[in-house]
Structure 1
Amino acid sequence: MSNSKIAIVTGGSRGIGRDIVLNLAKRGVRPIFTYNANRTEADKVVALAAEAGVKAVALPLDVGDARAFDGFADRVRVALAELGADRFDYLVNNAGTSSGANLETITEAEMDALYDVHFKGVLFLTQKLLPLMNDGGRIVNISSALARIAMPNRIGYGPIKAAVEALSRYMALELGPRRITVNVVAPGAIATDFSGGIVRDNPDVNKAVAEHTALGRVGLPGDVGPVIASLLADDFGWVNAQRIEVSGGVHI
């Protein structure tokens, strides 16, 4: 990857997103990343990218609010100018929220919120940013192993991620003439603060996941970030409309 490349990563201040941003920085890619509310954590990521010799820019964004996307695109234009560019090369739609609802408990409001963040957010943020994206670029959308396997209390989250996977194939088809590839990375259970930190902090959950994973442990952000950074490289230019699960072999 050339250091002339620029990536936009949503949800880049913590967890998997943070690892994506820092792995891109290590490869000389300049990240523009979003954070929802925690500016302090975002500033830490900017500082770590600077230690890697790369300028990163942190921008606030609620990916569940499509009305904010026009204004965000304007802020991206300003950020690109700060980086001496007018277009970017890579988009990673990573930001997400969790849901522990089952069929009896899920509410319409909760399902709407999942749709707004994970599906509508991915669709319309990509739409707004496409005019600023270079031809020949790369898009990676984040799904989940739960789109493939059914688990208790994931009646909203798993199916909406499956919808993201279908959306990604349609995006790949439509963006083919611009030579923009669109792939999906589907992490398994990762030890972060996602979903209240349940995989990281609950020993019973951690153990149960490890026992059903071929490689015998839960995943870490460092298992996922390098995969996504690598997938954006030119070496993977002929990989398109694919789902790559990064789960250590969970429930195979």
Structure 2
Amino acid sequence: MNALDGKVALVTGGGRGIGRAIAERFARDGAIVAITYARNSAAADELVEGIRARGGRAFAFQAELGTHGDAQRLWDAFDKEVAQYSSGGVDIIVNNAGEGLYQDLESMTEDAFDRVYAVNVRAPFFIVQQALPRLRDGGRIINIGSGVTRLAMPSIMGYGATKGAMDVFTLNLAELLGPRGVTANTIAPGIVDTDMNADWLRGNAEADEHWSERTALRRVGRPDDIADIAAFLASDDSRWVTAQVIDATGGTDL
């Protein structure tokens, strides 16, 4: 029996990068995986096809976050699609979709600030709010945070602040939902080789060496490094772990 047999998991922004690795791992562990994407339907469809070809169960649907009503539209689409696999409900929610923002204090605009908070904070807040009638007792909420919450990085302070907000959100969810056996935890990755970082990291030996040297394990992260932690948090093995921010930076700047 697989660790997630019979479970239904939602992974936002699951078409690429960390979200994709988490979706693939959950599917291997037996879950029915719902994957949202904002614009790249081809990547999401290719992922679903690959999971199904390996005997897994998955479906993808568009859910662009960052506007009022986004959570309601997401759950409406989820309810429609999941009916072909189960009687409804969700066991695992991974708030992975996020907006990168590489602006410092001096260059930050109000529009950019509003956008990054809308995607990274407001959307997960209301996704969970509207999930409550669907979320089964004993469920799991996994928020993808960032190691920048413990590092001073003024060049991305707006982005970092959104991840700090999510850490507080996780803490409060753990207290609120604990009586139902629901756990809530944050995974805080460091530098990971994903499409979001591709323009400055991938193929850039100098950047790779710089961040590897700042990391105790002497390499940058891979999406599967994060996915394996998510698999633990989604499983029954993590039943006594909640309200935690799990550092997944490989020991960056110790």
TM-score scaled to structure 2, two decimals?
0.95
Unaligned runs of 5+ in 1: none
The answer to whether the aligner puts 1:241 opposite 2:247 as a matched pair is no
Identity of aligned residues (%): 37
Unaligned runs of 5+ in 2: none
Q: 1:218 aligns with which of 209, 217, 220?
A: 220
Deviations 1:93-113 (A, max 9, x none): 000111111111111111111
Query: What is the aligned partner in structure 2 of residue 203 from structure 1?
Result: 205
Q: Report how far residue 202 of structure 1 moved.
A: 3.2
Show the 5 A alignment for 1:47-86.
Answer: 47-86=49-88
Query: What is the aligned partner in structure 2 of residue 22 from structure 1?
Result: 24
Q: 2:162 aligns with which of 152, 160, 163?
A: 160
Q: Which amino acid is the alignment partner of residue 66 of structure 2?
A: G
Q: CA 1:74 to 1:181, structure 2 compared with 1: closer, same or farther past 3 Å?
A: same
The answer to whether the aligner puts 1:123 opposite 2:139 as a matched pair is no
Q: Report how far residue 2 of structure 1 moved.
A: 4.0
**Distance of 1:160 and 1:71 partners within structure 2:** 23
Query: What is the aligned partner in structure 1 of residue 9 from structure 2?
Result: 7
Aligned residues: CA RMSD: 1.3
Q: Which amino acid is the alignment partner of residue 243 of structure 1?
A: V
Q: Which amino acid is the alignment partner of residue 170 of structure 1?
A: N
Q: Which amino acid is the alignment partner of residue 166 of structure 1?
A: V
Q: 2:229 aligns with which of 227, 230, 250?
A: 227
**Distance of 1:153 and 1:2 partners within structure 2:** 39
Following TM superposition, where does structure 1 have runs of at least 4 consecutive aligned residues deviating by more than 4 angstroms?
none
Q: CA 1:164 to 1:2, structure 2 compared with 1: closer, same or farther past 3 Å?
A: closer
**Distance of 1:73 and 1:39 partners within structure 2:** 18
SS across alignment from 1:82: coil
Q: Report how far residue 195 of structure 1 moved.
A: 4.4
Query: What is the aligned partner in structure 1 of residue 185 from structure 2?
Result: 183
Q: Which amino acid is the alignment partner of residue 27 of structure 1?
A: D
Query: What is the aligned partner in structure 2 of residue 102 from structure 1?
Result: 104
**Distance of 2:55 and 2:18 partners within structure 1:** 21
Q: Report how far residue 16 of structure 1 moved.
A: 0.3
Q: 1:88 aligns with which of 87, 90, 101?
A: 90
Q: Which amino acid is the alignment partner of residue 176 of structure 1?
A: G
Contact 1:102–1:152 (CA under 8 A) maintained in structure 2: yes
Query: What is the aligned partner in structure 2 of residue 33 from structure 1?
Result: 35
Q: 2:141 aligns with which of 113, 120, 139?
A: 139
Q: CA 1:205 to 1:152, structure 2 compared with 1: closer, same or farther past 3 Å?
A: farther
**Distance of 2:198 and 2:163 partners within structure 1:** 19
Query: What is the aligned partner in structure 2 of residue 193 from structure 1?
Result: 195
Q: Which amino acid is the alignment partner of residue 245 of structure 1?
A: D
Contact 2:4–2:235 (CA under 8 A) maintained in structure 1: no
